Structure 1
Amino acid sequence: MRLATLTLIAALPSAAVAQDHQAAIDAALDMHVLPGVTALAETSETLASVAAETCGGHDLTAAYNAAFDAWVHVSHLRFGPFEADNRAFALAFWPDSRGATPRALTQLIDDTDPVIDAEYASVSVAARGFYAMEFLLFDDDISTRCDLVRVMARDIATTTAAIRDDWTGTHAELMRTAGENDRYQSEAEAVRALFNALTTGLEFNADVRLGRPLGTFDRPRPNRAEARRSERSLRNLAVSMEGLAELSAALTSAMPDLHDDMIAAFDAVIAGLEQLDDPTLASVADPQGRLRIEALQQRISELRQLILTEIGPSLGVSAGFNSLDGD
């Protein structure tokens, strides 16, 4: 279904909107947030366990990819437990336009004193998380230091467990009881946090995941593609779109017609993405390949605009502060 042909629907009456607020909150938590943070913590714990046994090889790569997938699937949820203690940045310091990660890692590698678990949470976020580990596992210019791989994997597991525990322990209930607590003073405020995560995630995919390697026509920047060393650039985009589709489906679960339209809209974009055979988005430097990636970027931007004009008014909310502004 072409995005431009989707039928706009009118805003629902206020009583129905209020009812949909609670339905949207419950569905988003049960269908997307809680399963997502649980999978993130579990795959990260597996990564730490595998890293404790081996410093490289297929098993570690597989565990790394599984945990990275789980992170990207929920990486748009940049509020609440993700925001606390800079946890999201500790897991994902990217874009790194000034090369802080390789510098920080080189300093740690050159340090003769081993880094221990208790100290690692205090190091620069540039040397923590999935993008820092990518350098250790996949960059030929950065030495693989086994004790650093292990402490980094354990740090990821500790951080993701804290995110899961905060969501399952208190934050989900705060969202479910919005209007009855000081954190979310109305159901609309809780819905707006989820809605903003959806629109911000799409904006990040179009403007950063695709925009950075696209650069300009005269000066494409394929080396700026996300996670290109591990050949995850396209994979991250696909996993992100699937997570955002899941959140969109949850937010519209009480609106059957809009729900079906949004599923079709996401499916159309994801189908176009799956037709690309370009794991690192290197084809941005080729005129024909660039056209395909620009078309994909445009479709993601159109999908975001569709969500702003359809889901937002139907829920009685609008996009607010973008937590990625200024990154």
Structure 2
Amino acid sequence: MFFRKKASAIVLLAISLSLTISPAQAQEKLYKTVIHNAISKAILPGYTRLQNASRLQVSSLKSLCTQKTIANLETAQSDFKSLLIAWSKVELYRFGPARVDNRQEKLFFWPDRRSRGLKQIKSILLQEDNQVLIPENLIGKSVAVQGLTALEYVLFGKGAKTLSKSESSPYRCSYGLAIAKVIEQNATFLKDGWQENARYPSILSNPGPANPIYKSAKEVIRDLLQYSNEILQIVEMRKIQPMLKKGFDSAAHKPAPFWRSNMTIQTLVANLQSVAELQTLSDMQVLLPKDEKGQVSSLHFEISQALKMLKVIKQYGTLSHILQNREAYEKLVYLKNPIGGAQNILSEYYPEALGITMGFNSLDGD
């Protein structure tokens, strides 16, 4: 009887010890929960929406190429704008599957310095090479001629009105359809690359000594913060500042992305929203110490201020009209303040509160 009681006590002790989790283990588990949320609630749904939007674009272009009407052109253009919003919501995830085979650049070749990409697109439209109309051939060509900026030129650039005229050459529409199919292929690749059992989500979800990239869950959170900060830098330094130039008198809309479709402001909105949504959907605030949770409210406040300003700016009309209006121009200049505030929170306050040393910034030196 004594031995039975002793054995039972040993078993209970073993169970008790197995259920005891050290503070470090509890923290790692919490970090992994946030990582899982980021993938399952933000990243994968975002790429799923991109895939769905790309499929709608293929469908509407098929209809346009079959029957060239103003209504079908307007539908294809509308679907393109939806596609841009879906893309801009996942643009911040510039890592993992997006780096495979230059998928990020194949979807979004920008900035087009010296208009080299535009010249290639115009050359394709002029020469009407039928080999380019085969998606398998197009995907192997320059990244400049197969992504969103190329499709924007087809649908909104010089000569786009011919897409609704039955007597015009079918080539432009066929080229647009080929681009849309390549975009769908890349969107599908990225969505599949973020599925739960795919390689990269597994790498993020299972950090440790044997992991080729991440030795701890904290390193994964560091990268999520880093890329969130980088998309804010891209918005401020690459998308807004180049069109502001040195002052109001020299401002120009053409350095901005998607001005032909008048979607510059809407895509900036989607970029900023994606940062806030990643924070909310992943529930990243649970990682912060109690006395630092105010940083979450501060981050959302800065982003909301930027979004409110963009809503006001959009009311001034097209981007060219915005930049020709001094009041609107000054609002664009001001926009850099809340965006910069959000950057500071992500790059300084969050890392300090979490005990994280930020890694290499991929935008440094650009």
TM-score (norm 2): 0.79
Structure 1 gap ranges (5+): 1-12
3-state SS, counterpart of residue 312 of structure 1: helix
CA offsets 1:14-65 (integer angstroms, 9 cap, x no match): 7775454223312211221111111111211221122222145122112211
* Offset at residue 284 of structure 1 (A): 3.0
Aligned length: 315
Determine if the alignment matches structure 1 residue 323 to structure 2 residue 362. Answer: yes
Larger Rg: 2
C-alpha separation in 2, matches of 1:58 and 1:25 = 40
Instruction: Name 2:36's counterpart in structure 1.
Output: 26
Mean CA deviation greater in 82-91 or 284-293: 284-293
Mark the CA change 1:318 to 1:260 in structure 2 (over 3 Å): closer, same or farther: same
RMSD: 2.2
Percent identity of paired positions between Structure 1 and Structure 2:
24
Determine if the alignment matches structure 1 residue 175 to structure 2 residue 204. Answer: yes
CA offsets 1:232-277 (integer angstroms, 9 cap, x no match): 1111111111111112333624145443443333222212221222
Determine if the alignment matches structure 1 residue 304 to structure 2 residue 343. Answer: yes
C-alpha separation in 2, matches of 1:147 and 1:34 = 30
C-alpha separation in 2, matches of 1:109 and 1:20 = 53
C-alpha separation in 2, matches of 1:184 and 1:198 = 18
Opposite residue 84 of structure 2, the aligned amino acid is F
Opposite residue 307 of structure 1, the aligned amino acid is L
C-alpha separation in 2, matches of 1:196 and 1:67 = 25
Instruction: Name 2:121's counterpart in structure 1.
Output: 105
* Offset at residue 288 of structure 1 (A): 2.3
Q: How does 1:67-106 map to 2 (within 5 A)?
A: 67-106=83-122
Query: Residue 24 of structure 1 contacts residue 252 of structure 1 at CA under 8 Å; is this kept in 2?
Result: yes
C-alpha separation in 1, matches of 2:278 and 2:251 = 32
C-alpha separation in 1, matches of 2:157 and 2:205 = 44
Instruction: Name 2:305's counterpart in structure 1.
Output: 268
Query: Residue 222 of structure 1 contacts residue 281 of structure 1 at CA under 8 Å; is this kept in 2?
Result: yes
Query: Residue 53 of structure 2 contacts residue 83 of structure 2 at CA under 8 Å; is this kept in 1?
Result: yes
* Offset at residue 160 of structure 1 (A): 0.7
Opposite residue 237 of structure 2, the aligned amino acid is D
3-state SS, counterpart of residue 361 of structure 2: coil
3-state SS, counterpart of residue 250 of structure 2: coil
C-alpha separation in 2, matches of 1:87 and 1:297 = 29
Mark the CA change 1:175 to 1:23 in structure 2 (over 3 Å): closer, same or farther: same
Mark the CA change 1:187 to 1:156 in structure 2 (over 3 Å): closer, same or farther: same
C-alpha separation in 1, matches of 2:256 and 2:245 = 10
Q: How does 1:43-62 map to 2 (within 5 A)?
A: 43-55=53-65, 57-62=73-78
Instruction: Name 2:80's counterpart in structure 1.
Output: 64
Opposite residue 264 of structure 2, the aligned amino acid is S
Q: Which runs of 4 or more aligned residues in structure 1 lie more than 6 Å from their structure 2 counterparts after TM superposition?
A: 13-16
Structure 2 gap ranges (5+): 1-22, 66-71, 164-171
Instruction: Name 1:35's counterpart in structure 2.
Output: 45
Query: Residue 305 of structure 2 contacts residue 338 of structure 2 at CA under 8 Å; is this kept in 1?
Result: no
User: Higher helix fraction: Structure 1 or Structure 2?
Assistant: 2
Which structure has more RCO (C-alpha within 8 Å, separation ≥ 6)? Answer: 1
Query: Residue 303 of structure 2 contacts residue 338 of structure 2 at CA under 8 Å; is this kept in 1?
Result: no
Opposite residue 43 of structure 1, the aligned amino acid is A
Mark the CA change 1:30 to 1:261 in structure 2 (over 3 Å): closer, same or farther: farther
Query: Residue 76 of structure 1 contacts residue 200 of structure 1 at CA under 8 Å; is this kept in 2?
Result: yes
CA offsets 1:108-163 (integer angstroms, 9 cap, x no match): 12234312111011111111111111111101257750110110000000011001
Determine if the alignment matches structure 1 residue 148 to structure 2 residue 159. Answer: no
Determine if the alignment matches structure 1 residue 138 to structure 2 residue 156. Answer: yes
Instruction: Name 2:232's counterpart in structure 1.
Output: 202
* Offset at residue 173 of structure 1 (A): 2.2
